[in-house]
Structure 1
Amino acid sequence: MKTIMPFGILLLMLFASCTQQPAITLKNPLAETRTDEVIVFSREEIANKIALEEGKLPVFKNGDKTIASQVDDLDGDGNWDEVVLLTDMQADETIKATIELAVQSDYPNINKRTNLRLGIIQEDGSYKEVDNYKAVPVSEPFKIIAQGEGVTWENDKIAFRVYFDCRNVKDLFGKRKPVMVADDVHTPGFGNYHELAEWGMDVLHCGSSLGSGGIALLRNDSLIRLGSTDVYEYQKIVEGPIRSVFDLKYSGWNVNGEEMEAVERITIYPGKYWFESDVTVYGCSEDDQIVTGIVTSQLKNEPFRFEAADFTCIGTHDVQSLNNDELGMAVIVPKSETGTIGRTSDINWFQKGFVTVKEKGFSNIISETYFIAQECKDATPAKHYFFSVWGLDKDQWKTEDGFRKYITEEAEKLSSPVQKM
């Protein structure tokens, strides 16, 4: 028997299908709240949901509420490649967000919660921010050319920097307030960042260690620092309120007589006490391992090591800051890629005559470092996350247990990302 659908119902169905608004669905697979959760969509994923129009950008709404978002052009061709959403999610929550298109002038403004800065000193003593720059070649005399001595990246919780010279050591600033400080460091009126201020201070002594996440290569039981390269270049990729991304590019890296290249891509997000690092080495051998580590010069307690979700963690927690209070640092790498874990000697190689930068008492030979390695696949990124917390910022950070609890929670979230539908 042939069924004939009433004409009115057919019209309603056609009308609904024509007026249904494009949408995405986000699901939290964990039975825990996620605060400041970042979800990244590719341009292709959004194009599969809504027909894109030149000159317009996607805007996402959960009911009447606009979800904070940022569109990023990662390859510099003038077209956005990814859109980044920032939202809170309750345990097991599912969010359906509708998509609209808006001209750039109508794109929602949100508070800036991440920041990048490489300022190069000018003849008048001021600093000019640059998006791309090469450090002084290692063949030339040592010279500090950068504001705060290096590249700084930060969010509303913490700030990191890497010396923009042959040392290539990572350092960090603790924060007492959710403010951006990188643009003002070393400028008149800012004060000495080695002294405690209302905003915070430089809290770490690095020496000739890897500091707070410096990079090295482990080959035949020897650590070779990623530093003193022929070319050391900074390239800003994205600087935005939700995500900031930059590359550090190296060539002429002498590893036991071989010339190698490397790129480290660093990403920072709001609300997190960590940054994300993807290290790509070109020319590594089968048994080579990429290494990152933590300075131990002020460490009195034993470092810790544990596994959380899909990650292996190493870390330290002690009264070890330059303010003589609690400072915690940690690295997590995927369990499937975890390699050698170890601790260097505490020998002062500079005093033994292995001098790299006389003005800074620095030796390129790595010491006073607790490190973790992961497998090095030629021309393939290896990802890790570097954490740091300061006891003056929050009571939870005054204890190792409080720090480890946070690392475990973040490892679980990274292992079970928000599902996109």
Structure 2
Amino acid sequence: MKNIFPFGILSLMLFAACTQQAAITLENPLAEERTDEVIVFSREEIAAKITLQEGKLPVFKNGEKTIPSQVDDLDGDGAWDEVVLLVDMKASETIEATIELVAESDYPKVEKRTNLRLGIAQVDGTYKEVDKYKAIPVSEPFKIIAQGEGVTWENEKIAFRVYFDCRNVKDLFGKRKPVMVADDVHTAAIHDYHVLNDWGMDVLHCGSSLGSGGIALLRNDSLIRLGSTDVYEYQKIVEGPIRSVFDLKYSGWDVDGEEMEAVERITIYPGKYWFESDVTVYGCSENDQIVTGIVTSQLKKEPFRFDAAGFTCIGTHDVQSLNNDELGMAVIVPKTEAGKIGRTTNINWFKEGVKTVPEKNFSHVISETYYIGQKCKDAQAAKHYFFSVWGLDKDQWKTEDGFREYITAEAKKLSSPIQKL
């Protein structure tokens, strides 16, 4: 795993004669309070403020209070590339912060609020966490090799997972308390995650849908699932207290007789009921659309759609969890990039004979899904955000209005990020 350097609240006794300092200004452009807001600085931005020194890393301070932050090496070359800050800001507040260089060994830890996990089954029945791994090729017999059947990413609010096999469907865990669970599923600590535990449970039935944000390509009115590829590889980029990032890499993706490649980069932050996805497709045509969607198998009410703060949103809210309570799911994409919005048939293609994974009654033909397309530009990332909330977690999530209010507020924040001056 690449080096991560987390920082927390610390009062440092600094001597002006030997310590460099520089200043930055952070400004909240919204007339409303914001909590757990992430701000990313590139190495170049920091170098323009202060002369970097080998063996030292930047710390940001607001008065005597150290701003929680994390330094990430994204390309694996041994040098950090970005600094991620976590701030709370009052309405229209401006923060003057100083930058100080401190030795790596002097940086304290920050509370861990994001987590990644791909555990591979071992001969003794345990799971070994890996930072890079290839799934079993689709040409070989189906076999579950991963802890919890896939890659799991989480913060203290919610956890998501994607099956690490040819199904490539996204699933989710609801949480009742702010804990990390990915390391414990399928162990003695959490033996059965399909039943309600004190921390929460697996709340979603996926079937042959796209689940909670699975990926497909729309071409000539046909949906082609991003799955059953020759190569399906997981690559951890960074795992830290403030941000965790990983790539899912695919090659040998058969799209209408063409062999294509794709990379999905997923990022999760603290305090949010969503994850960020950047999907890059190599070889897409002019009219192709990248698609993500939401399972509708348990949906009884009509799904919703609306525009908010420069985003187009599709979503569902219903008594549709596996605990028979309220579950909301939604996708937002930039309005200028939004494409077709539709709903697949509810035909059970597995029963019709399209049996991709008989062991799981799974068909690669997508059904029971409400979806949204996004313009696909060859070799250029398309960004979307996937939301999910569970009624057992918070009263606000028991109503569609409460969920839509949250989506609208988050869309507004994403459209009006904290300004770096």
Pair 1:23 & 2:10 matched: no
> Which amino acid letter does the alignment assign opposite residue 175 of structure 1?
K
**What is the aligned partner in structure 2 of residue 130 from structure 1?**
130
- CA drift of 1:190 comes to 1.8
Counterpart mapping for 1:301-340 below 5 A: 301-340=301-340
Mark the runs of 5 or more structure 1 residues left unpaired by the alignment: 1-15
Amino acid paired to 1:389: V
Instruction: Give the conservation status (yes or no) of the 8 Å contact 2:263–2:280.
Output: yes
Match of 2:218 in 1: 218
Q: Encode CA deviations 1:23-63: one digit per residue, 9 max, x unaligned.
A: 11100000111110000000000001111100111001000
Aligned equivalent of 1:109: 109
Whole-Å separation in 1 of the counterparts to 2:46 and 2:202: 41
Whichever residue aligns with residue 104 of structure 1, its letter is E
1:108 offset after TM fit, Å? 2.7
Partner residue in 2 for 1:154:
154
Instruction: Report the CA distance between 1:188 and its aligned residue.
Output: 1.6
How much has 1:298 moved relative to structure 2?
Answer: 0.2
User: What amino acid sits opposite 1:354 in the alignment?
Assistant: V
| SS of equivalent to 2:142 | coil
- Give aligned-pair identity as a percent: 85
Question: Does the alignment pair 1:119 with 2:119?
Answer: yes
- Aligned mates of 2:190, 2:232 — CA distance in 1: 28
1:92 aligned residue: 92
Distance 1:21 1:103, change over 3 A: closer
User: Residues 303 and 19 from structure 1, CA distance in 2 versus in 1: closer, same or farther, beyond 3 angstroms?
Assistant: same
Equivalent residue for 1:51? 51
Unaligned runs of 5+ in 2: 1-15
* Equivalent residue letter for 1:383: K
97-106 vs 262-271, which moves further: 97-106
Structure label with greater radius of gyration: 1
Q: Is the 8 A contact 1:316 1:329 kept in 2?
A: yes
SS in structure 1 opposite 2:412? helix
**1:20 CA drift (Å):** 8.9
Q: How does 1:249-260 map to 2 (within 5 A)?
A: 249-260=249-260
> Which residue is 2:5 aligned to?
none
Q: Does 1:60 align with 2:51?
A: no
The aligned counterpart of 1:4 is none
Q: What amino acid is aligned across from residue 25 of structure 1 in structure 2?
A: T
Q: Is the partner of 2:193 in helix, strand or coil?
A: coil
Distance in 1 (CA, whole Å) between partners of 2:268 and 2:366 is 26
Tell me, in whole angstroms, the C-alpha distance in 2 between the residues paired with 1:277 and 1:19.
Answer: 39
Q: CA deviation at 1:107?
A: 1.0
- Report the equivalent of 1:372: 372
> Hey, what does 1:190 align to over in structure 2?
190
Secondary structure of residue in 2 paired with 1:22: strand
Stretch deviating more after TM superposition (160-169 or 184-193):
184-193
2:386 aligned partner: 386
The secondary structure found in structure 1 opposite 2:402 is helix
Q: Is 1:266 equivalent to 2:275 in the alignment? A: no
Displacement of 1:19 after TM fit? 9.7
SS at match of 2:68: strand
Aligned mates of 1:30, 1:89 — CA distance in 2: 10
Q: Is the 8 A contact 2:20 2:101 kept in 1?
A: no
Q: Tell me: CA distance 1:147–1:19, structure 2 relative to 1, closer, same or farther (3 Å).
A: closer
Whether contact under 8 Å (1:68, 1:108) holds in the other structure is no
Rounded Cα–Cα distance in structure 1 between residues aligned with 2:72 and 2:160: 22
Distance in 2 separating the partners of 1:27 and 1:211? 38
CA shift for structure 1 position 77:
0.1
Cross-structure match for 2:241: 241
Report the AA paired with residue 132 of structure 2.
N
Contact preservation (8 Å) 1:293, 1:331: yes
DSSP 3-state at the match of 1:148: helix
Structure 2: how far apart are the matches of 1:119 and 1:103?
33
Alignment pair present for 1:143 and 2:143:
yes
CA separation in 2, counterparts of 1:406 and 1:344? 27
Root-mean-square deviation (Å): 1.1
2 CA distance for matches of 1:376 and 1:21?
44
When the two structures are superposed, what TM-score results if normalisation uses the length of structure 2?
0.95
Give the corresponding residue for 2:7.
none
Question: Residue 276 of structure 1 aligns with which residue?
Answer: 276
Moved over 4 A (4+): none
Give 1:10's aligned residue: none
**Distance in 2 separating the partners of 1:161 and 1:292:** 15
Give the deviation of 1:189 after TM superposition.
Answer: 3.3
Question: What's the CA shift string for 1:254-288, capped at 9, x where partnerless?
Answer: 00110000000000000000000000000000000
Residue in 1 that maps onto 2:167: 167
Q: Is the 8 A contact 2:20 2:100 kept in 1?
A: no
* Aligned position for 1:350: 350
- Count the aligned residue pairs: 405
Distance in 1 of aligned mates of 2:289 and 2:90 = 39
